[in-house]
Chain A
Amino acid sequence: MPVKKKIQQVEIEEQVDWAPKVEEKRVIADLRETLEDIKKKDGIIGYIIRGTTSASVDIKDPSKIIDYAALSAEAIESGETLSSTFGLGKVCSIVLEGKTLKVLSLTKGEQQLSIFMEKSVDHNSIRQEIE
């Protein structure tokens, strides 16, 4: 059984106008709850959420965390570059398929998330669950 590792940064309150942040926190909490449910499914390897002030990583194989985090960031950045270059508008999702695994990356509110899964998993159903 692979060791689960969770890295979480503490969010820092900076603004006086904190009312929208409560909403945001709720969204993040809901999102994490959804991701936890998704993670229980067969073929799901883990996920990475990156917000403006915090990041959360939950990957089954801890030795892969850095590689996956780098890939996730690069996929989102590359998607945005290609989108702005070719006028695709707002990026809804990025599906990156490797020889062994695939990654579904999307942006939900302020949160950028990437879900790593086996190639046999239907990423469209995962995306619908999140959206």
Chain B
Amino acid sequence: MNEEILNIALKNALAEIKNAVSDVNWTFILTDNGTVISGEDTADPNMTKAASSFQSLAEKASAIGGLDNMLITGDKGKVYVSSINDMYLVAGLTEDADLVYFRTLTGAVLPTVLKVVNSITSSSLAPTPIKPTTFKPTPQIPYTPLKPIAPKSIPSELQIPDEDEELMAQEQEPTEPEQTIESETLELNKPQELETSKPPVEEVPSQQLIVDRFSGLMVKADTVQLDVDILKRWSALLDVKEIDEVDIETFSGKTARCKAKVINDSKLEGRGLVRIPEKTCQLLDVRRGELVRVKPVIPEESD
């Protein structure tokens, strides 16, 4: 859950609760990580002090199955603490406050706010399916064709590509931008170059992919999963049997070399995803839905 959005939503909710219930003197929410979210414009230092005292009590409350709620009645007022999801609402009430009304209101409003914020943030983080047109190679490598058809479709024995084959190859492509076709045609005109020379390191193809985080007991932290099409295309481009390793580069400049495997979930194929194990995501400081640049690593023995 996005913490900033959550804080704003809860702060506003607390302010509204205070406006709605005249018996409320002050309120704050204590989150599970110890953050104090106050409904007031200026945070009261007393709240932090009270929060630390309360945290220690909440820990000991495991003896009664965890703290659900608490009411401290003083001769000049009350403090009511209520558990909401994994947070605690702490409220200062007047001596004759209507506790039932306050409980009903907060019990309805705050969980709803949390649910709404949670649904908003989770939906904004979910990866959106992308169209095949977004699978373009990065602009830095102008000669990179979209499909591995070019080098494969020209047998070395023929030397010169057959015009019919070329047309068929173009027809098989669904909807490619004109510019890409042109570059492909350009490659087809130079088949010998592709056949004989291996691309230099600086011309290694790369692709921007959406991060999908995954975890599990049998998941290896050093292995990422990619679309079979992407791996096939790269292996064809680099003229290697298969791509075993890839370099992942984040936009913040962090890189990692990982083993590459094919995405094993058919539902996630063809969506432009790179599935990165949770640990590696943490190392790279990337989240689900973010874009990263993925480059194949040219194997040493590629002949």
Bound form: Cα–Cα A102–B63 in Å: 10
The interface bits of chain A over 21-38 (1 if a CB of B lies within 8 angstroms of the residue's CB, else 0) are: 000000000000000000
Determine if A129 is an interface residue (Cβ-Cβ < 8 Å).
no
CB pair A71 B92 closer than 8 Å: no
> Contact partner of B66 among A68, A94, A98, CB < 8 A?
A98
Determine if A8 is an interface residue (Cβ-Cβ < 8 Å).
no
CB pair B61 A98 closer than 8 Å: yes
Number of interface residues of A (CB under 8 A): 33
Determine if B177 is an interface residue (Cβ-Cβ < 8 Å).
no
CB pair A98 B74 closer than 8 Å: no
> Contact partner of B67 among A79, A92, A96, CB < 8 A?
A96
CB pair B64 A82 closer than 8 Å: no
Determine if B158 is an interface residue (Cβ-Cβ < 8 Å).
no
CB pair A89 B77 closer than 8 Å: yes
Determine if A95 is an interface residue (Cβ-Cβ < 8 Å).
yes
Q: Which of B43-73 contact A (CB under 8 A)?
A: 46, 49-50, 53-54, 56-57, 60-73
- Given A70-B63, A71-B63, A82-B53, answer yes or no on A87-B68 (Cβ-Cβ < 8 Å): no
> Contact partner of B74 among A74, A75, A88, A102, CB < 8 A?
A88
Residues from chain B with Cβ under 8 Å of A92 in the complex: 73-75
The interface bits of chain A over 66-98 (1 if a CB of B lies within 8 angstroms of the residue's CB, else 0) are: 011011001101110111011111111111111
Bound form: Cα–Cα A75–B69 in Å: 12
CB pair A83 B64 closer than 8 Å: no
CB pair A88 B60 closer than 8 Å: no
CB pair A88 B79 closer than 8 Å: yes
- Given A92-B73, A96-B70, answer yes or no on A64-B63 (Cβ-Cβ < 8 Å): yes
CB pair B72 A83 closer than 8 Å: yes
Determine if A100 is an interface residue (Cβ-Cβ < 8 Å).
yes
Residues from chain A with Cβ under 8 Å of B71 in the complex: 93-95
> Contact partner of A85 among B50, B63, B64, CB < 8 A?
B50
The interface bits of chain B over 189-216 (1 if a CB of A lies within 8 angstroms of the residue's CB, else 0) are: 0000000000000000000000000000
Number of interface residues of B (CB under 8 A): 30
Q: List the A residue with the shortest CB-CB distance to B68.
A: A97
Dominant secondary structure of chain B at its interface with chain A: mixed
Residues from chain B with Cβ under 8 Å of A95 in the complex: 70-71, 73
Q: Which of B168-189 contact A (CB under 8 A)?
A: none
- Given A78-B56, A83-B74, A86-B92, answer yes or no on A98-B64 (Cβ-Cβ < 8 Å): yes
Determine if A99 is an interface residue (Cβ-Cβ < 8 Å).
yes
Residues from chain B with Cβ under 8 Å of A102 in the complex: 64
CB pair A78 B57 closer than 8 Å: yes
Dominant secondary structure of chain A at its interface with chain B: mixed
Determine if B76 is an interface residue (Cβ-Cβ < 8 Å).
yes
Residues from chain A with Cβ under 8 Å of B72 in the complex: 79, 82-83, 88, 91, 93-94
Residues from chain A with Cβ under 8 Å of B53 in the complex: 77-78, 81-82, 85
Bound form: Cα–Cα A20–B242 in Å: 93
Determine if A101 is an interface residue (Cβ-Cβ < 8 Å).
yes
Residues from chain B with Cβ under 8 Å of A101 in the complex: 64-65
Residues from chain A with Cβ under 8 Å of B73 in the complex: 91-95
Residues on B close to A: CB < 8 A?
25-26, 46, 49-50, 53-54, 56-57, 60-79, 92
Residues on A close to B: CB < 8 A?
64, 67-68, 70-71, 74-75, 77-79, 81-83, 85-103, 116
Instruction: Enumerate 27 A-B pairs (CB-CB under 8 Å) in ascending A order.
Output: A67-B62, A71-B63, A74-B56, A75-B57, A75-B70, A78-B54, A78-B56, A79-B72, A82-B72, A83-B74, A86-B50, A86-B77, A88-B72, A88-B74, A88-B76, A91-B74, A92-B73, A92-B75, A95-B73, A96-B57, A96-B64, A96-B67, A98-B65, A99-B65, A99-B66, A99-B68, A101-B65
Smallest CB-CB A-B distances: 10 pairs: A88-B74, A98-B64, A99-B65, A67-B63, A89-B76, A100-B65, A89-B75, A101-B64, A78-B57, A81-B53
